[in-house]
C-alpha cells in the first residue's frame, strides 16, 4: 500500500514547495519555492531532510491531515503554530520540534499567530517527481507540486517513506525570529533614476501597510504615494524576488516568489535576500518600514543569516523519543498543569 498523507481539510492555501525551480526565468517561469526559506529549511533539518527537500507550505490557516503510512516523522516551523494530534486525547506538539506519528493519526496544524506562512516537513518528503528540476508548485500555471495546485479535501499525497525509525526527536533551541518590528533592508534601484529624490526619501521614512492584495506573486503596500520622475512605463526588463515596483498609482508592490519574470513598471528598490523571509511572513495589515543598505552590506547580512541558520541546526535540542517522559516538552506543551510548581 502506498504510504500517503490524506487531506481531511486543506487549510487556506497549502502547496508543495522546495528550494525552487531555477533556470527557466528566461522563458517566463518564476522560481516559486517558499515565501520563508529559513523556516522551510529548519523544518526539513528537524526531520533529517536535505535543505531543499519538498515540504508543505501553508498560508494563514493550516490543514487537517491523516497518516496513511505505518509511521511518519513531521516537523512544523512557522509563527506560533502547533500541531494538535487526535481528538479525544489530544496531544499538542509546538512548532519547532519533530514528532513521529503512526497510521491512523489525524492532526491539525493550528494558529500561525503573527506569521503568514508555516512549513510542515515530512521525513523523506512527499513522493513528487520533480518537474523542470523542482517539486515547487506554481499554481498560476498549474505547474509542479501536487497536480500543479493547492491541496484539496480528499487528496492523498504520496510519501517517499512507508515507515520511519523510532529515535530521539529534534527541537529548535530558540524560536524562529519573526522580526515583526525589524525594518526591511533594501538596495536602491534598479530604476532609482525613475523616481524623484522626494520619492526615495518617502520610501525610506514612511510606514507602509501590507494590503489584503498580498499573495505569492506580490505584496501590494499602502502608504504615501511615490512620485515618478520620468513616467511609470518602462520598456520591460527583468525582475527579481524582492523588487519594489511602483505602478501609476504610486503605491509600491513587493514582488514575491511567484513573480512575473519581467515587468514594465520601474523598480525603486529591491528587498535584500536576507529579508525576503521577513517580508514573506508579515501579515496583511502589518506595517513595513524600509532602510537602505548597499550591495556589500546586503551580501554580508545574507552570509550572517546563513551562519545563524547553520548554528540553529547544530544547536538542535534532542528530545526523548516518543513514549518516554520529557518534562521540558511537557512543560512547554502545557499538557500537565502544575508541572512547573511540582518540580520547584
Partner 1 sequence: MTVRFLPCGDTAVTVEFGDRIDRVVSEAVLRLNAFVRAANLPGVVETVPTFRSLTVHYDPLAADTASLIPEIEKLIDHGRGEAKPSKLWRVPACYATSHAPDLADVAHRTGLAADEIVRLHSTTSFHIYMLGFAPGYPYMGDLPDAMALPRRTDPRTRVPAGSIAIAGAMTAVYPVESPGGWHLIGATPIRLFDPRWPRPALFNPGDAVRFEPISEREFDAIRAAVAADTYRVACESVTG
Residues in contact with partner 1 by the rule CB under 8 A: 22-29, 131-132, 141, 143-144, 186-187, 189-191, 234-243, 260-262, 267, 270-273, 295-296, 298-299, 302-303, 306
Taking the complex as a whole, the smallest distance from the CB of residue 188 to partner 1 amounts, in Å, to 8
In whole angstroms, what is the distance from residue 143 CA to residue 161 CA? 24
Exposure of 129 by Cβ count < 10 A (0-12 exposed, 13-18 middle, 19+ buried)?
exposed
Query: Please, are residues 198 and 268 in contact by the beta-carbon 8 Å criterion?
Result: no
Taking the complex as a whole, the smallest distance from the CB of residue 303 to partner 1 amounts, in Å, to 7
Closer by beta carbon to partner 1, 71 or else 191: 191
Closer by beta carbon to partner 1, 72 or else 256: 256
Closer by beta carbon to partner 1, 65 or else 186: 186
Query: Please, are residues 65 and 8 in contact by the beta-carbon 8 Å criterion?
Result: yes
C-alpha of 188 from chain center: 25
Strand partners, 65: 7, 107
Give the CB-side neighbour count of residue 77, counting CA atoms within 13 A: 32
Concatenating the DSSP letter of every residue in 266-284 gives -EEEEE-GGGHHHHHHPPT
Taking the complex as a whole, the smallest distance from the CB of residue 125 to partner 1 amounts, in Å, to 20
Taking the complex as a whole, the smallest distance from the CB of residue 215 to partner 1 amounts, in Å, to 15
Taking the complex as a whole, the smallest distance from the CB of residue 197 to partner 1 amounts, in Å, to 18
Closer by beta carbon to partner 1, 26 or else 181: 26
Closer by beta carbon to partner 1, 122 or else 200: 200
Amino acid at each position: 500500500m502506498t504510504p500517503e498523507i490524506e487531506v481531511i481539510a486543506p487549510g487556506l492555501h497549502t502547496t508543495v514547495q522546495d528550494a525552487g525551480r531555477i533556470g527557466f526565468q528566461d522563458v517566463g517561469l518564476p522560481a516559486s519555492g517558499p515565501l520563508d526559506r529559513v523556516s522551510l529549511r529548519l523544518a526539513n533539518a528537524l526531520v533529517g531532510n536535505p535543505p531543499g527537500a519538498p515540504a508543505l507550505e501553508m498560508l494563514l490557516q493550516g490543514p487537517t491531515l491523516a497518516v496513511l503510512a505505518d509511521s511518519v516523522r513531521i516537523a512544523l516551523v512557522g509563527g506560533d503554530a502547533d500541531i494538535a494530534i487526535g481528538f479525544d486525547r489530544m496531544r499538542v506538539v509546538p512548532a519547532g520540534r519533530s514528532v513521529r506519528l503512526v497510521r491512523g493519526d489525524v492532526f491539525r496544524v493550528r494558529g500561525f499567530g503573527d506569521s503568514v506562512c508555516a512549513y510542515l516537513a515530512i521525513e523523506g518528503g512527499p513522493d513528487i517527481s520533480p518537474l523542470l528540476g523542482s517539486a515547487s508548485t506554481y499554481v498560476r500555471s498549474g505547474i509542479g507540486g501536487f497536480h500543479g495546485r493547492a491541496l484539496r479535501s480528499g487528496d492523498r499525497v504520496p510519501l517517499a517513506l512507508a515507515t520511519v525509525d523510532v529515535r530521539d526527536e529534534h527541537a529548535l533551541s530558540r524560536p524562529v525570529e519573526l522580526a515583526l518590528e525589524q525594518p526591511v533592508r533594501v538596495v536602491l534601484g534598479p530604476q532609482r533614476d525613475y523616481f524623484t529624490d522626494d520619492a526615495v526619501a518617502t520610501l525610506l521614512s514612511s510606514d507602509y501597510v501590507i494590503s489584503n492584495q498580498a499573495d505569492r506573486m506580490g505584496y501590494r503596500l499602502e502608504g504615501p504615494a511615490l512620485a515618478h520622475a520620468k513616467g511609470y512605463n518602462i520598456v520591460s526588463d527583468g525582475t527579481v524576488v524582492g523588487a519594489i515596483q511602483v505602478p501609476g498609482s504610486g503605491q509600491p508592490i513587493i514582488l514575491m516568489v511567484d513573480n512575473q519574470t519581467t515587468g514594465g513598471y520601474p523598480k525603486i528598490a529591491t528587498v535584500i535576500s536576507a529579508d525576503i523571509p521577513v517580508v514573506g511572513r508579515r501579515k496583511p495589515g502589518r506595517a513595513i518600514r524600509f532602510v537602505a543598505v548597499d550591495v556589500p552590506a546586503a551580501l554580508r547580512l545574507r552570509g550572517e543569516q546563513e551562519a545563524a541558520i547553520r548554528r540553529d541546526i547544530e544547536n538542535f535540542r534532542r528530545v526523548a523519543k516518543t513514549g518516554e517522559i520529557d518534562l521540558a516538552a511537557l512543560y512547554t506543551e502545557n499538557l500537565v498543569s502544575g508541572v512547573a510548581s511540582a518540580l520547584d
